[in-house]
Amino acid sequence: MSKLSQIYGYWKNSIKASMKRYDENMERSLKHLQNFYSTVLKYYIIDWSRYFESQPFRHSLRQKMESFFGKNEINFVAIDGTCVKDEGSDFITFFAGAYGARGKIIIKHEGEKIKYERWDFARDVTMVAQIPVFPYEIEFVASSPELSQMQFYSDKDIQEILNLHTSLMKLAEIYLAYHVVSSSTVDMPQIILLDLAPSTLLRVPYVNYKSTNYLGYKYLNDTIKLSDVIVALSHPYNSLLGVPSRKKYRRYALLLSKLDEVCSQNHKNYFTYKELTEICHLSIEDIKEIVRFLDATGVVEDDEAAGIKLFVNLSQRWSYLVSFFDYICNQIFIRKNPTALEFSNFSEESNIKKLISHDDINFLISIGIRALIEKCWEKNVFLIGIVKDSKSRYFCRNFLNVLSSQNMLGDGNENVDIKNFQIAMSDRLVFENCAALSTELCAPWSSVEFDSAFATLFVDRNNSVTGVKGHIVADDRIFAKSIAQFYLQRSKKQCKMGHAIFVERLLHPNLDRQFLDVVLLENSKLGRLSPFIHLDKKVINWGQAMNIYFLDVLTRNHFPEVIGYPEPLHKADRGAKTLLRFAKGVIHSSQQLYRKDPLNMTFRKFRDKLEFEDEE
């Protein structure tokens, strides 16, 4: 046997050993899963096919939809983003953008009809830019955590920091969604589909809110201040949903929302501590802790003896920030102005022009997602996020585990400990295997919905509920998550199915207030947590019913590569890839000017362009 054959043999044995270990782990997990499903999980799974086959239920659902939207022709837009980066030795050329597929669902008594419409390129939201990247500019592009680690980075690591195109792609998706929902009544969609989880974008800027270069930025004869950043992060506001909630983390948002509500009624800007405790239903100690933070950030002036004076008009500053977001994104994506990615203000010690950073883009995203949420609440728009191929365990590890620790599992399982079921699988694998194990399920089916805040709630070794780093809990009562499957066919020999996908839906006061009354816990570390919880699947969740119905109608299974996936998002993906192909051509042609000097190309890129025969 030659040495090369021996090497191939080692590779083969290594792969076979790994596959055997994987199969053994899956076999063990499936045994536990069967017990887990029959004991707990089946009480949190809803077979929507049985509901949709019922004529009385479909009639009630149709009435709910017509009451909510005010019509039976429902416009939708599916949005997907795309991006690419091309590195040179001294510059980076990148492309980032978003594309939308639009149409309408026509609901009739005899069935539903989908009609697609051509996407108007007047709504083009893309950006191609070439950014020079020299060593002295790296520090202005990197985010704060990256700066602290840069002393340990190699040249390759530093280049990888500059993935601005991925952040700009997310910004493009949010801006396009905000752009279409802010359009005229005729063009406005009633359903917006995003190829991401919008709740994750709410958590982006918490850590580095002081690091944005937009602090001091001049816009409309005013400047962006630190107090504006705090006002932006305190949104969204919705008193009917109880948003912001009374959880302890970022509790200043609750106080600012209450002050905004009072000030809009009587234009008051001075409050005593007694008034603040009555407004927020918090203790005087909690109020003083919040006020110290707001005083340090310039939102209020603290007079410890009497009360506080509000320095800013909260509603006016929020409108100013939304206008600022719209202006900057218009410059980047509509006018495609490359100077919008630079800052004209120079430092005192140097004349180096600063480039936009991840912190800056995250600040824009934080304004955009909050403005989008409030606009969807205002106009009764369904905002839906779809996540595919996720390896998360938010449902089994977080949601069910937290309910178990609080003795809130129903159907006689109050004393069941979820940790005893050794399920070493992601939620996606759990649900796909449940579809194979249970012959009762038919598509579409899903889990019950649970609050997106459960993604940051865990059960520690002491069986206590804790947040990230002990106290951090994401914004609750805004988005509800679920796992759903939209294609499942059974035969005697096999079970054909599409992937289980993660669905996220914006909660609406008219649909979801009945599931916001359960107090999950209340303690000094986390505060009062009363997230969205659907404990009894026999109680119809009309918001989820409408959501699953829309997604089921939009999942046509015409494309074999995306079986069980909403068709409009696939069309948006194909449109985005078409834009990407055009952009790559532009980027490639722009490099003709630099080919006369090979040093403008990185060594690795220059080498990889050349074809060579295999070494003997």
Residue with tokens 């359960």, as numbered in its chain: 518
- Does 514 score more than 90 pLDDT? yes
Strand partners, 116: 103
CA gap 601, 350 in Å, rounded: 29
- Does 185 score more than 80 pLDDT? no
Reported as a single tens digit per residue, the pLDDT across 143-156 is 555 555 444 445 54
CA gap 504, 516 in Å, rounded: 17
SS3 at position 536: coil
Confidence of residue 345 (pLDDT cuts 50, 70, 90): low
Task: Give the relative orientation of helices 314-329 and 252-266 as an angle to the nearest 10 degrees.
Answer: 110
| pLDDT at residue 160 in the model | 47
What Cα–Cα distance (Å) separates residue 319 from each residue in 294, 298, 506? 20, 18, 22
Average pLDDT score, the chain: 86
Looking at per-residue confidence, does 606 or 142 come out higher? 606
CA gap 279, 454 in Å, rounded: 27
- What value does the mean pLDDT take over residues 207-212? 72
SS3 at position 563: coil
Lowest mean pLDDT among 243-257, 479-493, 531-545: 479-493
| pLDDT at residue 615 in the model | 52
CA gap 90, 245 in Å, rounded: 48
Terminal alpha carbon distance of the chain = 17
SS3 at position 90: coil
Looking at per-residue confidence, does 13 or 118 come out higher? 13
CA gap 321, 233 in Å, rounded: 11
Taken in order 434, 541, 243, 143, is the CA torsion positive or negative? positive
Strand partners, 115: 104
- Percent of the chain with pLDDT strictly greater than 90: 56
DSSP state of 499: P
- Percent of the chain with pLDDT strictly greater than 70: 85
The encoded tokens of residue 268 equal 């008051």
- Does 492 score more than 90 pLDDT? no
Confidence of residue 157 (pLDDT cuts 50, 70, 90): very low
CA gap 587, 591 in Å, rounded: 7
Lowest mean pLDDT among 360-369, 531-540, 579-588, 606-615: 606-615
Q: Minimal CA–CA distance to 175: which of 319, 95, 79, 316? A: 79
| pLDDT at residue 409 in the model | 86
Residue 468: what residue type?
V
CA gap 408, 530 in Å, rounded: 13
| pLDDT at residue 121 in the model | 66
- Does 471 score more than 90 pLDDT? no
Q: Which residues contact 393 (CB under 8 A, 6 or more apart)?
A: 426, 427
Q: Are 383 and 505 in contact (CB under 8 A)?
A: yes
Residue with tokens 């220059």, as numbered in its chain: 606
Confidence of residue 364 (pLDDT cuts 50, 70, 90): very high
Reported as a single tens digit per residue, the pLDDT across 39-70 is 889 999 999 999 999 999 999 999 999 999 99
- What value does the mean pLDDT take over residues 328-338? 90
Q: What is the number of other CB atoms lying within 10 angstroms of the CB of residue 274? A: 11
- pTM score over 0.85: yes
Residue with tokens 């017509």, as numbered in its chain: 66
Q: What is the number of other CB atoms lying within 10 angstroms of the CB of residue 205? A: 22
Confidence of residue 161 (pLDDT cuts 50, 70, 90): low
Ordered by start, the domain boundaries in the chain are 31-53+389-564, 73-213+313-388+565-602
Reported as a single tens digit per residue, the pLDDT across 272-328 is 999 999 999 999 999 999 999 999 999 999 887 778 999 999 999 999 999 999 999
- What value does the mean pLDDT take over residues 195-204? 91
Q: Which residues contact 515 (CB under 8 A, 6 or more apart)?
A: 449, 532, 533, 534, 541
Q: Minimal CA–CA distance to 475: which of 161, 257, 189? A: 257
DSSP state of 187: T
Q: Are 145 and 161 in contact (CB under 8 A)?
A: no
Q: Minimal CA–CA distance to 532: which of 256, 281, 245, 234? A: 245
Residue with tokens 């009354």, as numbered in its chain: 517
What Cα–Cα distance (Å) separates residue 187 from each residue in 228, 342, 397, 607? 32, 34, 42, 50
Q: Are 574 and 565 in contact (CB under 8 A)?
A: no
CA gap 113, 458 in Å, rounded: 43
Looking at per-residue confidence, does 92 or 222 come out higher? 222
Q: Are 218 and 491 in contact (CB under 8 A)?
A: no
| pLDDT at residue 145 in the model | 57
Reported as a single tens digit per residue, the pLDDT across 380-415 is 999 999 999 899 999 999 999 999 889 888 766 666
| pLDDT at residue 516 in the model | 94
Residue with tokens 């096919």, as numbered in its chain: 49
What Cα–Cα distance (Å) separates residue 428 from each residue in 263, 424, 557? 46, 12, 20
Reported as a single tens digit per residue, the pLDDT across 525-574 is 999 999 999 999 999 999 999 999 999 999 988 888 899 999 999 999 99
Reported as a single tens digit per residue, the pLDDT across 16-30 is 999 999 888 888 888
| pLDDT at residue 25 in the model | 86
> Up-side HSE of residue 427: CA atoms within 13 Å toward CB?
27
CA gap 85, 74 in Å, rounded: 37
Task: Give the relative orientation of helices 314-329 and 226-234 as an angle to the nearest 10 degrees.
Answer: 90
The encoded tokens of residue 331 equal 């410059």
SS (H, E, C) 417-439: CHHHCCCCCCHHHHHHHHHHHCC
The encoded tokens of residue 396 equal 């089994």
Q: Which residues contact 574 (CB under 8 A, 6 or more apart)?
A: none
| pLDDT at residue 131 in the model | 63
What Cα–Cα distance (Å) separates residue 179 from each residue in 15, 134, 135, 376, 536? 50, 35, 37, 12, 38
